[in-house]
Amino acid sequence: MYKSLADAIRDAEEKKIPLSQLALETECRDQGRPVAEIRAALQRALDVMRGAVAQGMTGDMYSTSGLVGGDAAKLRTGPAGPLAGTPFRDILARALAVQEVNAAMGVIVAAPTAGGAGVLPAVLTGLASARSVPDDKVVDALAVAGLIGAVIAERASLSGAEGGCQAETGSAAAMAAGAAIEMLGGTPRQSGHAAALAMQGTLGLVCDPLGGFVELPCVFRNATGSAIALTGIELAMAGVEFLIPVDEVIDVMGQIGKEMDVRYRETAGGGLAATPTGRRLAREKLVQIKRA
């Protein structure tokens, strides 16, 4: 397993292979599983991701608390805004859709976690749909996402309870950005820059779920994370390079998480969860759930 994205990028460049091939070969060696078996598992994950997007888009998925639900469908069919008909708006809707399914206790892929699970499927399936990318390329992208996520887990954290939402949605944005670069024909080096550019945009992001429910603002942060991932993709594909190496960005995220006040690490003790409205909504929804 790689503990440094810089090392993975270097090895891929020296071998003149894509990051996905490096990731699959490394997983094969470390886990003793054939590459075909790993790809089949990734294809199953992709199928579940697409299923969650489709289910969430119906507008019928609501959480037990009633805090979230139906907003993905509004983006899909609602009044035309300035981004109507664009892949950007479609990707935002997909991110909400997956998280609404999650909040309604539906089936998702926790990549990297349940709280940040809307970003990766939204970005990859949305771009694949817009660009007519075949499934084998999307599976390759998922392998790259797994490589990036594994390095983040090793160097920092993927847990909101440990590092705030920067560790969940921020990591998801980095994974999606780096993965999409390969899917769109970019280089391993561009994948690294895209991941760094996405993660730097989420540094310090707190985890503040109202009432402890992974619903609000979590669902909407996945749409924001998708937008940040797209920013990283656009910049990196244009040749923009982030001057701080991606491993150092990951390390900083981990350090910020360690130093973050406990109120901002999934405890519902600070941030939006501690606003007067946040506390009132949490109380009201808890009472409704107990009565149900």
SS3 69: strand
Which DSSP helix (H) or strand (E) runs through 163?
helix 160-163
The CA distances from residue 166 to 118, 138, 255, in Å, are 14, 25, 11
SS3 sequence of 24-68 = HHHHHHHHCCCHHHHHHHHHHHHHHHHHHHHHHHCCCCECCCCCC
pLDDT of the residue at 292: 55
pLDDT of the residue at 290: 58
**pLDDT single digits (tens) 175-189:** 999 999 999 999 999
In whole angstroms, what separates CA 60 from the centre of its chain?
A: 23
pLDDT of the residue at 1: 86
Which DSSP helix (H) or strand (E) runs through 123?
helix 119-131
**pLDDT single digits (tens) 75-124:** 988 787 898 889 999 999 999 999 999 999 999 999 999 999 999 999 99
The one-letter amino acid at 152 = I
pLDDT of the residue at 288: 66
- pLDDT-derived band at 65, boundaries 50, 70, 90: confident
Residue 43 confidence (pLDDT) above 90: yes
The one-letter amino acid at 239 = G
Q: Quick count: other Cβ atoms within 10 Å of Cβ 60?
A: 12
Residue partners of 18: CB distance under 8 A and separation at least 6? 12, 140, 144, 182, 188
Sign of CA dihedral 277, 89, 77, 60: negative
**pLDDT single digits (tens) 232-251:** 999 999 999 999 999 999 99
- Cα separation, 208 vs 158, in Å, equals 16
* Structure tokens, 48: 């579940």
Contact 249, 196 (CB under 8 A): yes
Lowest mean pLDDT among 39-43, 102-106, 279-283: 279-283
Nearest to 235 by CA among 187, 200, 193, 202: 193
Residue 28 confidence (pLDDT) above 70: yes
- Of the CA atoms within 13 Å of residue 106, those in its CB half-sphere come to 26
pLDDT of the residue at 179: 98
**pLDDT single digits (tens) 46-56:** 999 999 999 99
Q: Quick count: other Cβ atoms within 10 Å of Cβ 283?
A: 11
pLDDT of the residue at 289: 63
Lowest mean pLDDT among 124-128, 212-216, 232-236: 212-216
Q: Is 214 left (phi over 0), alpha (psi -120 to 50) or beta?
A: beta
The CA distances from residue 46 to 49, 52, 55, in Å, are 5, 10, 14
The CA distances from residue 156 to 2, 4, 120, in Å, are 14, 11, 19
The whole model's pTM is what?
0.96
* Structure tokens, 178: 């780096």
